[in-house]
Amino acid sequence: DAPPSAPAAPSLDDIGLDAPAAAPPPPGGGVVTFSTPTAPADDVPAAPRLSLSESLASAPPASTDELDLAMDPARAPRRSDVVARVDEAALGEAAPVRKRPMSRARKLAVAAAAVVAVLGAGGFYLYQRHAAEQARAADIARSIATARRALAEDRWLDAAAAAQRALKTDPKHPAALGLAAQAYFAAAIDRGTDAAKLVAEGEAVFRKISEAAARGPEVDAAAGLRALTERNPTEAIAKLSAAAERDRRDPNLPLYLGWAYAQAGDFAKAADAFDHALRKIPKRVPALYGLGLAHIELGNTDAARDALLAVTEIDPAHIGARVGLAQLVEVDRFDAREARYLEILNDPNIAKADPRAVARAWALAGDEALRAGRVDEAVGRYTKALELDPDNVTAVIGEGKAALAQGRYEVARERLKAALSARPDNIDAMVAYAEASLALRDWDAAFDSIESALKRNPKNWRAQYVYGKILAAFPDAEEGAAEEVLRAAVAIAPPGEIAPTVELSKLLVAKGRGQEALAVLRPVEAAAETDAALAVALGVAYLNTGDAARAEQWFRKALDLRPADVEAQLQLGMALGAQEKFDEALAILEKAWEADNTREDVGVRLATLYERAGMDDKAAEIYDALVARPGASLNARGRAGRFYARTGRIDKAVSLGESILAENERDAAGHYLRGEGLYAQGKYAEAQSEFRDATLIDPQAQYYEALGRAMEKQGLLADALRAYERAMGLDGKYLAPRVGRVRIHVSRRQYQEALDEANAALAIAPDDPDLHFYRGESLYEMGRARDAVDAYKRAVGGRPDFAYAYYRMGKAYVDLDKPRDAVAALAKATRLAEGSEAAWLADAHYYLATAARTAGDRGTAIRAFRAFLDMSPDDARARDARKLLLRLEAGGR
């Protein structure tokens, strides 16, 4: 708003005085002057200045009549006059006032004084206003200077507070608004802790920027940082580059650009930007840290190490720098590198650290577990990483590679596609996607992905290795192409990365060049003879290629060198289990568990192997111990819960599922276990919803089988068949979905389809009682009662308490006119089902009674008729049953 105008100076007429005749002022006379100083350069209006030309009293007047302020003795009142006036006043009488005429000089003096007073009042008002404006501007300038200094020192919240102080004085100040928003967004990006709250604060400031239509380089920089918090690095780079063009002196813009290029995956430009930031402010920690991570991505290990060490010299507790330095430990000592990650993750102050750095540690620790073949543990670590930082691409890629290791190739590609969507230039994701495509024999996808990776970095050893594998498997590859590429991979692979060497040796063996294969492996194997860690690495390489026998050889060598090495014991147990040498595998894993029962991965592996060996009681002991521990991982609880669900301990399974979902509402195992609880309560629609959620999060065969069961219970048979088929596609050896499909075909009276699928499934599980039972049902309904009896016998042989199978066998014997065999089967069925509410039990008693009567077993017939009539007194057959019972009781037939 415009300030009120200063009052105009009054004229002499305005105050009732006669104006003097126009005459030049006497030299040195008392002249009142009014002047306005020249406006300063910053265009701030200057206050008027009032002054007297020297002093009215210091210059001699032109005549005593003009100005005489001294008392004239002749004009002084006599004492008697004063006394008289006082006396008159005391008497209450009005004393006559004698007015003395004012001289002209005196009138001029009074007028001058009035002008000075009036003009002085207006000038003082303007002076006060000017001083307040100057103080206000100075306060804003001081706050903005403080904010800039704090930003340059990475004291983000101090910068925000200083900028907010400026905004209290001027809520629309563009620079203050831009600096405040920068501070909040930069704090979220740099620190990671309380990021959501800090971004919300930045957004609140940004709304004020929009309302004020504020412009300027500070606002552009804030907009760039805002785009980074929205995961839009392209927009961020554009805005920050524009801001840098407008203000080349701002030391923060190179740092911000480094962040933007890093988020975009352009690590070369990120490194340049961080270098620029460090030239402006040496030893700036966020720039050093960003530079170190950029060099890790670029493979510049020495430069990365130098930058990260510089960070730890300034801040020894910097978790992110410590994780980066652990990542730079030599790969051939992967056990030591993993130990570094776990040491960091067990730091007592880890909860206060940047969650992105902690997530990075979990993801990298997952990579180490995956490298060692401990897939379940790797998945658990990746899950923890993504809980802390959903944008952690390393963890997403890790999940894809873990699914690849589990043979879940479509799942692997889905996760890797998600990673490539976030980071289209990520070579690790491209290589893994190519490997999954190779497993699916999707040649176009495999070649496209691996060639893209090699185009970005021809010296990436893993890309060369997978390219060699693709060429070795591709039927139309040029002769010698695979060998050439694999030899290149061997040449550039870092020490300890022996997968290309193993793959090359396998290729040479396949070509009948066994001596060359041995020559290729000889240097690695020679070194592994005396290096336990390398022996384990060699064994893992063989295990990952499916050669469990060769893997076993090297794990045993590692144990010869280090008998108490728990990792080598675990790996040996896994190799033996892969060969189905269950007794030896269990013995070595039990030894590892006894040596270190704090290793959850050992316990999970041991319990899983007990399950495979059919030793559910032993598995239950291990699972019970694992889940009873404080801080049991989601992976351990999920594994245990699935075991409890399979073995009928539904309450315990549901409890674990709820505890899992309380920590991670997107956990597939948690939804699956909750669904099993609902299924057990007969709430099939709700169970279906939970099972579907599980399949959407993690499409595992077990979850699809459960989804099929829930659908089947609701009569959604076509949908159930598709769910079972998907489960079979994910795990061809998983029996439950095959049984489900056979069961549905039987219920639909599609007996030939049921028989075909049952026979196919029996090739996987020759003794499964359910498959034999449904095979018997199909044969019986197809009129092949004799064959059906054989199938029923196999069913009850595998499950001696299978009451319904005995009942159906008894009916088949009745049809075959074998009453004695029928009596034996039906008597067994009724004994097993006694006290139950089985719908078929009354029929079983009726058939037993008639068969026993035919076989001449009068006592059994009487008891069976009585049982039938007790259970079904209104049955249509009850009248005949009563007649026969009376006849039998009377001694007849």
Length of the chain: 893
Establish how many alpha carbons lie within 13 A of residue 3's alpha carbon, considering only the half-sphere containing its beta carbon. Answer: 14
DSSP string, 788-828: HHHHHHHHHHH-TT-HHHHHHHHHHHHHTT-HHHHHHHHHH
Task: Based on the fold, state whether residues 810 and 780 are members of the same structural domain.
Answer: no
User: Could you tell me the CA-to-CA distances from 422 to 335, 436, 633 in Å, in that order?
Assistant: 30, 19, 28
Q: What is the pLDDT of residue 541?
A: 83
Residues 718, 724, 730, 732, Cα dihedral to 10°: -120
Helical residues (DSSP H) of 389-531, grouped into ranges: 393-405, 409-422, 427-439, 443-456, 461-473, 481-492, 499-510, 514-528
Q: What is the pLDDT of residue 768?
A: 92
Q: Is 51 helix (H, G, I), strand (E, B) or coil?
A: strand
Q: Is 479 helix (H, G, I), strand (E, B) or coil?
A: coil
Bridging pattern class, strands 32-35 and 49-52: antiparallel
Task: Based on the fold, state whether residues 72 and 190 are members of the same structural domain.
Answer: no
Residue 25: band (very low, low, confident or very high) from pLDDT cuts 50, 70, 90: very low
CA distance 334 to 369: 9
Residue 117: band (very low, low, confident or very high) from pLDDT cuts 50, 70, 90: low
What is the extent of the structural domain holding 687?
645-732
CA distance 298 to 270: 10
Q: Is 270 helix (H, G, I), strand (E, B) or coil?
A: helix
Q: What is the pLDDT of residue 206?
A: 92
CA distance 361 to 463: 24
- Taking alpha carbons only, the member of 660, 596, 650 closest to residue 627 is 660
Buried b (16+ CB within 10 A) or exposed e, 168-199: eebeebbbbbbbbbbbbbbbbbbbbeebeebb
Residues 844, 849, 852, 858, Cα dihedral to 10°: 150
Task: Based on the fold, state whether residues 3 and 137 are members of the same structural domain.
Answer: yes
CA distance 426 to 437: 17
Q: Please state the pTM of the whole predicted model.
A: 0.66
**Dmax of the chain from CA atoms?**
174
What average pLDDT does range 344-360 have in this prediction? Answer: 93
CA distance 219 to 315: 31
Residue 270 amino acid letter: A
Domain count across the chain: 5
Is 357 a member of any domain?
no
Residue 33: band (very low, low, confident or very high) from pLDDT cuts 50, 70, 90: very low
Q: What is the pLDDT of residues 744-789, one digit of tens each?
A: 999 999 999 999 999 999 998 899 999 999 999 999 999 999 999 9
Is 305 a member of any domain?
no
CA distance 237 to 225: 9
Extract the tokens encoding 735.
């029996």
CA distance 368 to 203: 39
Evaluate if residue 40 carries a pLDDT over 50: no
DSSP state of 550: H
- Taking alpha carbons only, the member of 289, 171, 189, 276 closest to residue 230 is 189
CA distance 583 to 837: 42
CB atoms within 10 A of CB 164: 18
Evaluate if residue 59 carries a pLDDT over 70: no
Is 320 a member of any domain?
no
Q: What is the pLDDT of residues 623-639, one digit of tens each?
A: 999 999 888 888 899 99
What lies within 8 Å, CB to CB, of 62 at 6+ separation is 26, 29
Evaluate if residue 481 carries a pLDDT over 60: yes
Task: Based on the fold, state whether residues 1 and 118 are members of the same structural domain.
Answer: yes
Residue 442: band (very low, low, confident or very high) from pLDDT cuts 50, 70, 90: very high
Using an 8 Å Cβ cutoff, are 208 and 217 in contact? no
Evaluate if residue 154 carries a pLDDT over 60: yes
Evaluate if residue 742 carries a pLDDT over 70: yes
Extract the tokens encoding 3.
């300030």
Strand partners, 324: none
- Domain boundary residue, one of 232, 250, 268: 250
Using an 8 Å Cβ cutoff, are 675 and 710 in contact? yes
- Domain boundary residue, one of 84, 118, 141: 141
User: Could you tell me the CA-to-CA distances from 307 to 80, 289, 293, 314 in Å, in that order?
Assistant: 104, 7, 9, 11
Q: What average pLDDT does the chain have?
A: 85
Residue 126: band (very low, low, confident or very high) from pLDDT cuts 50, 70, 90: low
Task: Based on the fold, state whether residues 31 and 134 are members of the same structural domain.
Answer: yes
Residue 248: band (very low, low, confident or very high) from pLDDT cuts 50, 70, 90: confident
We report the CATH number of the domain holding residue 758 as: 1.25.40.10
Task: Based on the fold, state whether residues 788 and 856 are members of the same structural domain.
Answer: no
Q: What is the pLDDT of residue 27?
A: 43
What 42-45 contacts at long range (C-beta under 8 Å, 24+ apart), as own/partner pairs, is 44/130, 44/133, 44/134, 44/137, 45/130
CA distance 719 to 708: 7
Helical residues (DSSP H) of 247-392, grouped into ranges: 253-264, 267-280, 285-298, 301-314, 319-327, 334-345, 355-371, 375-388
Is 48 a member of any domain?
yes
Is 325 a member of any domain?
no
Using an 8 Å Cβ cutoff, are 166 and 147 in contact? yes
Evaluate if residue 52 carries a pLDDT over 90: no
Task: Based on the fold, state whether residues 36 and 102 are members of the same structural domain.
Answer: yes
Task: Based on the fold, state whether residues 95 and 171 are members of the same structural domain.
Answer: no
Task: Based on the fold, state whether residues 716 and 754 are members of the same structural domain.
Answer: no
Task: Based on the fold, state whether residues 739 and 684 are members of the same structural domain.
Answer: no
Is 86 a member of any domain?
yes
Task: Based on the fold, state whether residues 719 and 777 are members of the same structural domain.
Answer: no
Q: What is the pLDDT of residues 648-672, one digit of tens each?
A: 899 999 999 999 999 888 889 999 9
Residue 518: band (very low, low, confident or very high) from pLDDT cuts 50, 70, 90: confident
- Domain boundary residue, one of 782, 800, 818: 800
Using an 8 Å Cβ cutoff, are 505 and 521 in contact? yes
Q: What is the pLDDT of residues 377-418, one digit of tens each?
A: 898 899 899 989 998 999 999 999 999 988 888 889 999 999
Chain CA centroid to CA 386, Å? 3
Is 59 a member of any domain?
yes
Identify the residue with better confidence: 544 or 234: 234
CA distance 205 to 182: 9
Using an 8 Å Cβ cutoff, are 698 and 672 in contact? no
Q: What is the pLDDT of residue 321?
A: 96
Using an 8 Å Cβ cutoff, are 643 and 634 in contact? no
- Taking alpha carbons only, the member of 431, 85, 654, 558 closest to residue 573 is 558
Task: Based on the fold, state whether residues 198 and 66 are members of the same structural domain.
Answer: no
DSSP string, 323-337: HHHHHTS-GGGHHHH
Q: What is the pLDDT of residue 716?
A: 95
What lies within 8 Å, CB to CB, of 259 at 6+ separation is 189, 225, 228, 236, 270, 290
CA distance 742 to 755: 8
Q: What is the pLDDT of residue 315?
A: 94
Is 549 a member of any domain?
no
CB atoms within 10 A of CB 615: 15
Q: What is the pLDDT of residue 783?
A: 93
CA distance 454 to 446: 12
Q: Is 32 helix (H, G, I), strand (E, B) or coil?
A: strand
